[in-house]
Amino acid sequence: MFNLSRRQALAAGGGLIGSLLVPQRFARAAVGSTLNIAYNVNLPSFDPQVGPSSVNPTIQGIYRSIFDQYVGQKPNLAFEPGLLTGWGWNDDKTKVWMDVREGVVWHDGTPFTPEDVVWSIQREAKPDGGNPVSFVWASIDNFNIDGKRITADVKQFMPDLFKWMAFLTGYVLPKAYFEKVGPEGFEKKPVGTGPYMVDAYEGNAYLRLKANPKYWGGKPAFETVVFKFVPDATSRVAEIESGKSDVTLEVPYEEYDRLKNKAGLKGECKPISDIGMIFITNGGVMDDKNVRLAMCHSVDKATIIKKLLRGYGVPIDTLQAPDYEAYDPSIKVPYDPALATKLLAASGYSKDKPVKFTIQTTRGFKPKDYEMVQAIVGMWRNVGIDANIEIYEIAKHFELRMSHKLAPAAFYNWGNAIGDPSTSTGHAMFSKSPHSGWHSDDLDAMIGPLWGEKDEKKRIEGWKKVDRYIAEQGYVLPLLQYEQPILYKSDLKVIPNKTGALQPATLISKA
Amino acid sequence: MLLSVVANRVAMALLTLAGVAVIVFILLRVVPGDPVAMMISPGAGPADIAALKAHYGLDASIPVQFWIWIKGVVTGDFGTSITLHLPVTEVLASRLPATLELAFLALLVAVVLGGAIAVAGTLMRRTFGETIIDSLNSIMLAVPDFIWALALVLLFAVAIPILPLTGRIDPDLAEGFTTRFYLIESILTGRFAVAGDILSHMIMPTLALALPLAAVIVRLLKQSLKEAMLQDYVLLARIKGFRELRLVLQEALRNAVGPTLALTGVQFTFLIGGTVIVERIFAYPGIGNLAIDAVINRDFPLIQGLVLLFGLIFILVNIGTDLTVAALNPRLRHA
């Protein structure tokens, strides 16, 4: 038999532990011509026009690397020419015109033409084509091409039509190539006009892109970009900390603070066009305005952001974030627990006789989502609201929302990369939207006319009035504008994008 | 007789798979959340929702949807993935090899490691060495695979960053493959540098999966070996002057291994289930990682295909275990 004495065992164990405790210093290699990004989601599909991926905001940074949009967008949400160099309506808004950029080629070398633009819009407009926002593209039809100018009839006026051309599914695909290879062929070998071409791809693993030498916007800073699909946050932290990746994003705020000042690393954490909010569903106790307003006035958003999110967040009182077009800083819903108590008392509620309802929340979907709701429930309890927390997952939230069966209060987020009020307040609060929580005729009467308002100034003012009315009525509880943590090697320069899309072609360069 | 046994097993397998198909199909449509609800745009109206449901074949009744799907399944057509826009069979075929290589490598590591530790523990029985082995094994038994995964990430990817953390292969080396069995193909074609890179990517996920199974093997095999070492045939061999190691390996092991093999087969199915979390942590592109995305996105055709595939794997593993145990123990061949 083998004998291992206690002395020998202790010596071996001590040596092993000691070697592991010695700090290991490994040089973090400088970034060369290849940029490695530890990305937080997988890319399921290369088709940016149809299917679930096309409306996934977190994938847009990849799509914008391979494809171009009709209209471009700057990091501050302002719009700029994309594959369209000019666009607009005629005087009475019955026609649209679009000027197509010249001298652009697809990745396969064939020329980009106005026919590609028309075909793309028509493909996206088909009601049975799988585009989730086909109603946008179907609002114009009867296209006519004259040189580089396309004109079309407006079937239904949408004031934000051209903004949608910089938004979800607003990408141009190659007509001839797509018709030749079909959808499956396109998935296996996608072709765009973007700054990068697909070089290699393995689902749930990586996407390698090569610079497009003929890109109309100039050659990007890196010859090669590798998106590593690393959905697990711990692994993303490990990727950047070990130096195996050059950039990563959406890490826990605690890890961001730990790493941003570490030797060899830098960080940016800026607000993006994504907000956290609590939907209020009409019916039951929520029909009592005092209850709704008490809910709103008893939440100390600044403290929640400071304590739970380490200060990374911007408190908001409407569904417009500060960068949005209809943001009105004069609309305030102050933290006033005394007022909340008084409001509830007027309806016969108190701490001893609280109003009761359920609040639904995700857990782990957004940073500290569950913990925020726990804190809010605690604040509510102090004024006379007894809320029961129910955890649900994302899929259930969507199904309940679509069937207007959310709990009286439900936490979720809302993205709005084009910053237009119709795509935040409009779709979140109009009862005919499948995504609204509050349904009431008074609000519909205010919102309804704004969908087709042709006077832009009047339209924006109209939305501001709607937001003020919503705040006065307590129809929703906006919480905060999220901030996106980005960590990167210190020899890089990263420009944060307010849409949240990390675009290596235009926003990452060598320092 | 053998033919009837085989026929019986095949019939049972088909019946099991049919039951799994019905259950998963119905459950997906009953549980909250459907893919259209998750992708529908805020401004969409009822007509848009109806059009999307029709596009994905979700507008028919559940029995009609099931009939359409099952007709395709029996001809090998599992439908098209809603999120990937590719045939489900093609997607599964492209991802399964990665998981199979990982699972079998983990099984091999677990058997070798578990067997070696069990033999060492038997050789050191009634000494302080056995106490150490039992203590460490208890820790290994208590720690689940995903905790091992995170611990390995911290150790070998952060503290001592000597191993690649994510993926299956360096993208620069991922060319020139005919099959998706990257490891096997690179070894068979003599591309040993590539095989080395693949193995370096597989070390951490393999260990995360193997260590819990190895602990189970150690516990059971050591006990069986210690019992076997008390038998008369071992005593006779010891009297003949054979060394202790030979007694354990050549006398006791073949009689002690049966129960361990049977349990290993059952535990292997749990190991395959463990690939879901482990593949996610290491961004390893197998069917486990695919399954998580499919469930999150409510990709019904893909989930259905994955569940049937997992069911088939479990059935085949159980059959393989039964055959192996019967091969090693003639008394069971006629059971």
d(CA A473, CA A467): 10
**Cβ–Cβ under 8 Å, residues A230 and A239:** yes
Q: B123 and A1: CB-CB below 8 Å?
A: yes
Tell me if residue B241 falls in helix, strand or coil.
coil
**Cβ–Cβ under 8 Å, residues B62 and B326:** no
pLDDT of residue B330: 62
Q: Which strand (E) or helix (H) includes residue A482?
A: strand A476-489
Q: B281 and A203: CB-CB below 8 Å?
A: no
d(CA A363, CA A178): 40
B38, B40, B41: best to mutate for the A interface, most A CBs within 10 A: B41
Half-sphere exposure (Cβ direction) of B116: Cα atoms closer than 13 Å: 6
H-only helix segments in A332-424: 337-346, 369-381, 394-402
Calculate how close chain B gets to A307, using CA atoms only, in Å: 27
End-to-end CA separation in angstroms for chain B: 12
Contacts with A237 (C-beta within 8 Å, 6 or more apart), sequence order:
A248, A251, A252, A255, A259
> What does the block give as tokens for B156?
């070998």
Q: B49 and A427: CB-CB below 8 Å?
A: no
- Tell me which residue has tokens 């051209």: A162
Strand partners of residue A37 = A227, A247
User: For the residues B150-179, what does the mean pLDDT come to?
Assistant: 90
Contacts with B318 (C-beta within 8 Å, 6 or more apart), sequence order:
B265, B266, B269
- Integer CA distances (angstroms), B107 to B88, B104, B163, B288, in order: 27, 5, 21, 16
**Cβ–Cβ under 8 Å, residues B304 and B230:** no
Chain A partners within 8 Å of B157 (Cβ): 238-239, 242, 244
- Tell me which residue has tokens 């911290």: B154
Q: What is the 3-state secondary structure (H, E, C) of A266-299?
A: EEEEEEEEEEEEEEECCCHHHHCHHHHHHHHHCC
Burial class (CB in 10 A: 0-12, 13-18, 19+), A336: middle
Contacts with A121 (C-beta within 8 Å, 6 or more apart), sequence order:
A137, A140, A143
B53, B165, B222: best to mutate for the A interface, most A CBs within 10 A: B165
**Cβ–Cβ under 8 Å, residues A341 and A384:** yes
Distance from the Cα of residue B106 to its chain's centroid: 9
Q: B33 and A398: CB-CB below 8 Å?
A: yes
Q: Which of A239, A243, A423 sits opposite B42 (nearest CB)?
A: A423
Q: Per residue of chain A (511 residues), what is the pLDDT tens digit?
A: 445 555 655 555 554 444 444 433 344 566 779 999 999 999 999 999 998 889 999 999 999 999 999 999 999 999 999 999 999 999 999 999 999 999 999 999 999 999 999 999 999 999 888 898 999 999 999 999 999 999 999 999 999 999 999 999 999 999 999 999 999 999 999 999 999 999 999 999 999 999 999 999 998 999 999 999 999 999 999 999 999 999 999 999 999 999 999 999 999 999 999 999 999 999 999 999 999 999 999 999 999 999 999 999 999 999 999 989 999 999 999 999 999 999 999 999 999 999 999 999 999 999 999 999 999 999 999 999 999 999 998 888 988 998 899 999 999 999 999 999 999 999 999 998 888 989 999 999 999 999 999 999 999 999 999 999 999 999 999 999 999 999 999 999 999 999 999 999 889 999 8
- Integer CA distances (angstroms), A2 to A5, B119, B124, B243, in order: 10, 11, 5, 12
- Model confidence pLDDT, tens digit, residues B20-50: 988 999 888 887 777 787 777 666 777 777 8
Among left, alpha and beta (phi > 0; psi -120 to 50; other), residue A169 is: left
> Phi/psi at A446 (nearest 5 deg)?
-80, -40
d(CA A344, CA A340): 6
For residue A152, the one-letter residue type is A
Tell me if residue A88 falls in helix, strand or coil.
strand
pLDDT of residue B329: 66
Q: Which of A50, A53, A127 sits opposite B48 (nearest CB)?
A: A127
Higher pLDDT, B138 or B57: B138
DSSP A30: P
pLDDT of residue A11: 52
> What does the block give as tokens for B218?
């150690």
pLDDT of residue A176: 97
User: For the residues B8-27, what does the mean pLDDT come to?
Assistant: 87
Burial class (CB in 10 A: 0-12, 13-18, 19+), A510: middle
**Cβ–Cβ under 8 Å, residues B314 and B141:** no
Which is it for strands A140-146 and A149-154: parallel, antiparallel or unpaired? antiparallel
Q: B127 and A2: CB-CB below 8 Å?
A: yes
Q: Which of B41, B49, B87 sits opposite A55 (nearest CB)?
A: B41
d(CA A52, CA B19): 30
Number of H helices, E strands in chain B: 14, 0
Tell me if residue B183 falls in helix, strand or coil.
helix
- Cβ neighbour number for residue A431 with a 10 Å cutoff: 16
d(CA A489, CA B27): 46
d(CA A314, CA A48): 31
B244-258 as b/e, with b when 16 or more CB fall inside 10 Å?
A: eeebbbebbbebbbb
Tell me if residue A3 falls in helix, strand or coil.
coil
Q: B85 and A396: CB-CB below 8 Å?
A: no
pLDDT of residue A8: 56
The length of chain B in residues reads 335
Chain A partners within 8 Å of B85 (Cβ): 45, 47, 50-51, 183-184, 187
d(CA B12, CA B4): 12
Q: Which of B40, B91, B279 sits opposite A434 (nearest CB)?
A: B40
> Phi/psi at A34 (nearest 5 deg)?
-115, 130
Q: B283 and A394: CB-CB below 8 Å?
A: no
For residue B264, is pLDDT > 90? Answer: no
DSSP A42: -
Q: What is the 3-state secondary structure (H, E, C) of B26-80?
A: HHHHHCCCCHHHHHCCCCCCHHHHHHHHHHCCCCCCHHHHHHHHHHHHHCCCCCE
Could you give the percent of chain B with pLDDT greater than 90? 42
**Cβ–Cβ under 8 Å, residues A4 and A11:** no
Q: A187 and B42: CB-CB below 8 Å?
A: no
Residue of B nearest to A5 (CA): B128
A42, A46, A178: best to mutate for the B interface, most B CBs within 10 A: A42
Residue of B nearest to A395 (CA): B33
Residue of B nearest to A13 (CA): B132
- Cβ neighbour number for residue A109 with a 10 Å cutoff: 8
Calculate how close chain B gets to A507, using CA atoms only, in Å: 24
- Tell me which residue has tokens 């097993």: B9
Q: Which of A127, A130, A208 sits opposite B171 (nearest CB)?
A: A208
Q: A184 and B85: CB-CB below 8 Å?
A: yes
Tell me if residue B256 falls in helix, strand or coil.
helix
Burial class (CB in 10 A: 0-12, 13-18, 19+), B90: middle
pLDDT of residue A331: 97
d(CA A242, CA A246): 10
- Model confidence pLDDT, tens digit, residues B77-117: 999 998 898 899 999 999 999 999 999 999 999 999 999 99
B31, B38, B135, B169: best to mutate for the A interface, most A CBs within 10 A: B38
d(CA B304, CA B291): 10
Distance from the Cα of residue B225 to its chain's centroid: 27
d(CA B224, CA B125): 13
Residue of B nearest to A126 (CA): B51
User: Please, what is the Cα angle at B41 between B36 and B44, to 5 degrees?
Assistant: 95
Q: What is the CA radius of gyration of chain B?
A: 24
Which is it for strands A314-315 and A355-361: parallel, antiparallel or unpaired? unpaired
Q: Which of A50, A239, A433 sits opposite B166 (nearest CB)?
A: A239
For residue A445, the one-letter residue type is A
d(CA A56, CA A75): 18
d(CA A235, CA A215): 34
Q: Which of A1, A132, A187 sits opposite B44 (nearest CB)?
A: A132
> What does the block give as tokens for A182?
């079909």
d(CA A430, CA A422): 10
Chain B partners within 8 Å of A394 (Cβ): 33, 38, 296
pLDDT of residue B334: 54
Query: In this predicted complex, what is the ipTM?
Result: 0.85
Q: Which of B45, B120, B158 sits opposite A242 (nearest CB)?
A: B158
Chain B partners within 8 Å of A423 (Cβ): 42-43
pLDDT of residue A15: 47
Calculate how close chain B gets to A310, using CA atoms only, in Å: 24
Chain A partners within 8 Å of B125 (Cβ): 1
B85, B126, B133: best to mutate for the A interface, most A CBs within 10 A: B85
Q: Which of B51, B161, B282 sits opposite A127 (nearest CB)?
A: B51
DSSP A69: B
Chain A partners within 8 Å of B297 (Cβ): 44, 52
d(CA B146, CA A215): 44
Q: Which of A128, A208, A400 sits opposite B54 (nearest CB)?
A: A128
**Cβ–Cβ under 8 Å, residues A484 and A500:** yes
